[in-house]
Amino acid sequence: MGTTLSTSRPRPGRPRSRVRLVTIGLAAAILAVPSAVAAADDAGAPQAPGDSLRAIAAREGLRIGTAVDMAKLGTDTAYTSVVADQFSVVTPENVMKWDAVEPTRGTYDWQAADRLVSFAEQHDQLVRGHTLMWHNQLPGWLTSGVADGSIGTAELRDILHQHVTDEVGHFRGRIWQWDVANEVFANSWDSHPLADGVNGDDFWVQHLGEGVIADVFRWAHQADPKALLMYNDYNITGEDGTNAKFQAVYDFVKRLRAQGVPIDGIGEQGHLDTQYGFDPQTFQADLQAFGDLGLKVAVTEADVRTFVSGTGADEVPTDQLAAFAQPYEFSAMLTGCRLVRQCISFTAWGVDDGDSWIPNTFSGEGYGLLYDARLRPKQAYFALRQDLLLGLSAHRTDG
Ligand code: 9MR
């Protein structure tokens, strides 16, 4: 299982002298690197500003990420600068999904995805590949073929195998983490959970049986033995208030590991909503439990939504306290990740509130991300930056 591209994180409790050096180094970096994308270091790679999220987090070996909208990257200059300056790992929000890469059967379109991977390489960023087996955003030719019976079970399995082999193979050596299987476990509201908690109504499970979950990991591993292979889902760190989904995923991946299935990590998506409770202790404990299985963990799609009035950059939380809950929950998720040594990256699901899936899915809600629609950093952004800085200066009274 792959480790070449992975970062290893220091355990909490670093030697004092190193912390002091790091703090001084950071101060120097903040003064020395005023602007980002335009500046280039000796190796030719553009440098991020010293006070950016990515620069501060790099000092503790953590990658900070964002989902990227390829309709904006490279065309919207301000957006592109934020992606380059602030983040050290990127996830394609949509362009690696099956409907995007193979809209017509047998004809691949890698253009947008290739462009993101090249951008990442030019900006010293890693890439989270998203996603290989998911019930959503499947090409029409596939879903209609299954629905009308022209694609039978054996052929469907071959098609999935080919898809995983071709996509992972296409990007071989250039993807840090792959979200291999996405959202196959049942939530409390799903109607047909299987005995082990897998969602019996999931498209792939329904048609190919739950054994396919282990198979996609095996196929992905064959195609790129060095990529970190992740299972990615939401509500798997107690957000549903019961921890039942966590337990099901935990038991399942423990069995997969015991069977030698090449799964390297768990992606906790981190889609929170201020109207529901959030328990940072459970969040951290669940991430730690996955880590203790020998898995890496990552927060892969963080956002914290709330009810809003106004639109665009004038969007404000309707409940004044939600304006505090939003940065708090972001901060608590980052802290939970940082306290778990196996947590290798923390990714927000988009850059700004003007470009988020939230308002399209949850009527009346928004305000979920780190930047507003005019790309001004919000309190959540500053909270994360303060948290990261505090980590560097935590021992400053020592000397
Ligand atoms: O953010 C994505 C949005 O643009 C798409 O329309 C949507 C389609 O299902 O998928 C969104 O991303 C999802 C991600 O791929 C998997 N986890 C949930 C995310 C939000 O729906």
Atom of ligand 1 at shortest distance to CA of 131? 15
Q: For ligand 1, atom 14, name the residue with the nearest CA.
A: 93
End-to-end Cα spacing for the chain? 42
Tens digit of each residue's pLDDT (9 = 90 or more) over 36-76: 443 444 445 566 788 999 999 999 999 999 999 999 999 99
Q: For ligand 1, atom 6, name the residue with the nearest CA.
A: 357
- Domain residues for the domain of 201 are 19-35+46-398
In a domain, 13, yes or no: no
In a domain, 11, yes or no: no
Q: Hey, CA dihedral for 305, 307, 312, 315, is it positive or negative?
A: negative
Pocket lining: 233 vs ligand 1, CB cutoff 6 Å: no
Residue of 91, 94, 269, 272 best suited for mutating to test ligand 1, as the one with most atoms within 8 Å of CB: 94
In a domain, 10, yes or no: no
Q: Give the catalytic positions in this structure.
A: 183, 301
In a domain, 77, yes or no: yes
**Nearest-angstrom CA–CA distance, 159 and 142:** 9
- Rounded to the nearest angstrom, the distance between the alpha carbon of 361 and the centre of ligand 1 is 10
Atom of ligand 1 at shortest distance to CA of 234? 17
- Rounded to the nearest angstrom, the distance between the alpha carbon of 64 and the centre of ligand 1 is 19
In a domain, 271, yes or no: yes
CATH of the domain at 363: 3.20.20.80
- Which residue stretches of the chain have pLDDT < 70? 1-47, 393-399
**Nearest-angstrom CA–CA distance, 340 and 289:** 9
- Rounded to the nearest angstrom, the distance between the alpha carbon of 357 and the centre of ligand 1 is 7
Tokens (6 digits) for 253: 């991946």
- Rounded to the nearest angstrom, the distance between the alpha carbon of 242 and the centre of ligand 1 is 24
Tokens (6 digits) for 57: 């987090």
- Rounded to the nearest angstrom, the distance between the alpha carbon of 133 and the centre of ligand 1 is 14
- Rounded to the nearest angstrom, the distance between the alpha carbon of 356 and the centre of ligand 1 is 9
Pocket lining: 71 vs ligand 1, CB cutoff 6 Å: no
pLDDT the model gives residue 50: 83
Pocket lining: 357 vs ligand 1, CB cutoff 6 Å: yes
Pocket lining: 69 vs ligand 1, CB cutoff 6 Å: no
Rg (the chain; Cα; Å): 21
CB 206 within 8 A of CB 191: no
Q: For ligand 1, atom 11, name the residue with the nearest CA.
A: 357
Q: For ligand 1, atom 4, name the residue with the nearest CA.
A: 357
In a domain, 14, yes or no: no
Residue of 357, 361, 365 best suited for mutating to test ligand 1, as the one with most atoms within 8 Å of CB: 357
- Rounded to the nearest angstrom, the distance between the alpha carbon of 272 and the centre of ligand 1 is 14
CB 175 within 8 A of CB 230: no
**Count: domains in the chain:** 1
In a domain, 1, yes or no: no
pLDDT the model gives residue 394: 53
Q: For ligand 1, atom 7, name the residue with the nearest CA.
A: 357
**Nearest-angstrom CA–CA distance, 159 and 106:** 10
Pocket lining: 335 vs ligand 1, CB cutoff 6 Å: no
pLDDT the model gives residue 2: 38
In a domain, 4, yes or no: no
pLDDT the model gives residue 44: 54
Residue burial 172-200, b: 16+ Cβ < 10 Å; e: rest:
eebbbbbbbbbbbbbeeeeeebbeebbbe
**Nearest-angstrom CA–CA distance, 69 and 279:** 30
Atom of ligand 1 at shortest distance to CA of 356? 1
pLDDT the model gives residue 393: 62
CB 329 within 8 A of CB 274: yes
Tens digit of each residue's pLDDT (9 = 90 or more) over 342-398: 999 999 999 999 999 999 999 999 999 999 999 999 999 999 999 999 977 655 444
pLDDT the model gives residue 97: 99
